[in-house]
Amino acid sequence: MTTAALEPRAGRRCHNPLNTLHSTLFFSPDLATEMGALGITDPRAVNFATRAAAMGRVGAGTVTAAFYNYRYELVARHVPAVWDIAGPDAVLAARARAVDATLRRLLGVDALASPELAEAAALALRATEACGRPGRPLYAAHADLPVPEEAHLALFHAATLLREHRGDGHLAALTAAGLDGLEAVVTHTATGRGMTPKWVLNTRGWRQGDWDAASGRLRGRGLLDGEGELTEAGAALRAGVEAETDRLDRAPYEHLGADGVARLTELGTVFARAAAAAGAFPGDLLGKR
C-alpha cells in the first residue's frame, strides 16, 4: 500500500488551528482568575509567567530571547520578580486549571467528551513524537512536562508542543533573514495576518517611536514602502521566512503521515472555529491598522 506524499504546506495548515486552540488561553478570563489567585495580576506578568514557567525560574534575558518580539525593558519589569510571587510549579498548575476551564467554556462538555476530541489528541501527540529538542528551548522545556490524562488537556499539551516547536524554528528563520523582534512584527502586520499595531504596542512594550524606527530600517532595506506596505522584496522575504519555517517544522507532520495530518487538520479546524465563534479572541486583534 502506498502512502500519499505530504504536501509542502500541509504541516502549516495543520499547525494553524492547533495554534489557534493554544492561543485561546492567553485571551481567557479564566487565566486571569487563576493567576490572580496566586497574586499575579498584571496582564503582562501573567503572560510571561504562563508561557515561561516550563523553563523554570528564568530571568529577563532568557524570556526576551525565547519570546523574541518583546521589549527587554518590559520583560525585566516583571521577570524574575514574578517568581517571588508564585514559583513556576504553582504557575503551571494554575495554567492547567485555566486550560481546563477555558476549553470547557469555549467548546462545551459534550465536545470535550467526544471521540473526535480524543482522536485529535492522539493524532497530535503522535506528531510530537518526531519533534526535536536541540535548538528549541521553549519546545524542549514543555516537552519535559508530563502528558495530562484527560483528552482535552492532552490535546492542549500537544498543541503547545507543536506550537513551540514551530515557533522556535520560526525564530531561527527570522534571525537568518536579518529581522529583529520588532521588525519581524512590523513585517508580519504588513501582511495583514499579524496583530494590529495597537495590540503590538500594548502587549510587547514597544513605543510608537520604536515602531517608526523599525519601519524606517525596513524601508532602508527596500522591504517596506512609504505607506507601510510590503514591497515585492519584502513579500518575498516574508515568504522565504515562512518556507524555511515549514522546512524546519516538517518532521512531526511527516511522522504523522499525510492521512493523519489531513484528519488532524480537519478535527483541529472544527474545534478552533468553535472556540473562535464562542468569543475566544478580541475582534480587533488582527489586521494592518
Cβ–Cβ < 8 Å for 236, 223: no
The pLDDT value given to residue 3: 55
Low-confidence ranges of the chain (pLDDT < 50): 1-2
The pLDDT value given to residue 285: 82
Residue with cell 467526544: 114
The pLDDT value given to residue 244: 97
Angle, to 10 degrees, between the axis of helix 232-248 and the axis of helix 151-176?
Answer: 130
The pTM assigned to this predicted structure is 0.95
The pLDDT value given to residue 8: 87
What DSSP line would sit under the chain, residue for residue? ---PPPPTTHHHHHHHHHHHHHHGGGG-HHHHHHHHHHT--SHHHHHHHHHHGGG-S--HHHHHHHH-SS-HHHHHHHTTTHHHHS-HHHHHHHHHHHHHHHHHHHH-HHHHTSHHHHHHHHHHHHHHTT---TT-HHHHHHHTSPPPSSHHHHHHHHHHHHHHHHHHHHHHHHHHTT--HHHHHHHHHHTTSSB-HHHHHHHH---HHHHHHHHHHHHHTTSB-TTS-B-HHHHHHHHHHHHHHHHHTHHHHHHH-HHHHHHHHHHHHHHHHHHHHTT-S-TTSBS--
Cβ–Cβ < 8 Å for 179, 238: no
In degrees and rounded to multiples of 5, residue 118 shows phi and psi of -60, -40
Closest CA to 238 of 280, 192, 283: 192
CA pair distance 49, 285, nearest whole angstrom? 22
Entry field: residues in the chain: 289
The pLDDT value given to residue 2: 39
Cβ–Cβ < 8 Å for 20, 265: no
Cβ–Cβ < 8 Å for 172, 248: yes
CA pair distance 116, 7, nearest whole angstrom? 24
CA pair distance 181, 189, nearest whole angstrom? 13
CA pair distance 160, 18, nearest whole angstrom? 8
Digit-coded pLDDT (tens) for 7-62: 989 999 999 999 999 999 999 999 999 999 999 999 999 999 999 999 999 999 99
